[in-house]
A and B are shown apart, each in its own frame.
Chain A
């Protein structure tokens, strides 16, 4: 396996030590009048460069909306998101995005999909191509470069999605339930493989999930979000050593963190449920 850090980043600016995110008094509201819906209530949070942060919460709690605000797809109604002291205005290659599924261009081969970002950045065909191969090798799919995405399994497609985002040397990797559509075995394998890639690549990761085990296994910090209106109710530090492996499920720290997250979510759901009934 090659070490990507040794691969010379063709970009002028290195992504090393970058990827600090500051969410500053951000609230996001959709619609107006009677249809007004507060997706994210005023939230401030800081994420350090190189940190692996999971946003954990039930479906519809606004965790994806918050992620989309960092990506630049959604403009905050109030407040701002800064990445390395630059306010996010629109999507850009410095913030790589991995979606839940079906986000590869079906008319481009796997290789062309990964080479797309470097090509957009103005690199030559040869340069984009060697970058694509490096990252396909990183995710173990170099052999499949000439295939079309639909010829690959769901897990393989997601690995291509990760390679495609990383090929831009982003300072931040944003992942929106990337393994949510995969079966349990593939999902475990993908989680380990993601940690492996992250260890080599060292970018900041913001990972959205509704799976408590996934969040605790992956993250340095788990931000627990609650629904209606969406807000961060807990910021849980996970003190598990790295590199992590799936046998840590019995580690006391893992058990403690997992139980704490579950209890928080349970208490919050109960509160929301009782709130609906009164």
Chain B
């Protein structure tokens, strides 16, 4: 770890990318259509690339990914949520990629430790956000069935969205402004998709939000077990 990099910030951003990458990778072999499977795998690989750069700034990337216990992960609870149906995956993508796009945009312009990574990644994430928007519009403004599923997905994941704007130590950003821009952007997409912006709380009692402190939801343990078991069973294995 170099002295200039805030390890905590690199872990937070890196774990977000790693965990979401793994979740999206779970669609391989299960996506609704072949074309979409490749699209999701593409996004997963972009995120994995970001995770490798970020985790390498903190320590050994393999050790960090495969040998940390659940409570040592600093990712948002949003990204660890199970894929659910396709609408849940798209809602998760819309919420997260809108956030990541704004965040990397700020970091790329900010001249801090993450400038180089953010400048490259912001273009990738712009595509992820566009992909999620296109699907939200089509599912929301599609059939009665797709509209209903997309609305349920947006509502189910809404309580995980407040956590994104907890300030991350090491990132000097205007988090209030970031949240306002996120809300404007997501509201605009949901409106055009004929969906209703969920009204539930995003912070406080019923909202989620301790992923950055190492507290995670039930399904995350299972995901980690699957992600880590090969490395733990065969330490140092390679192709």
- Say whether A associates with B: no
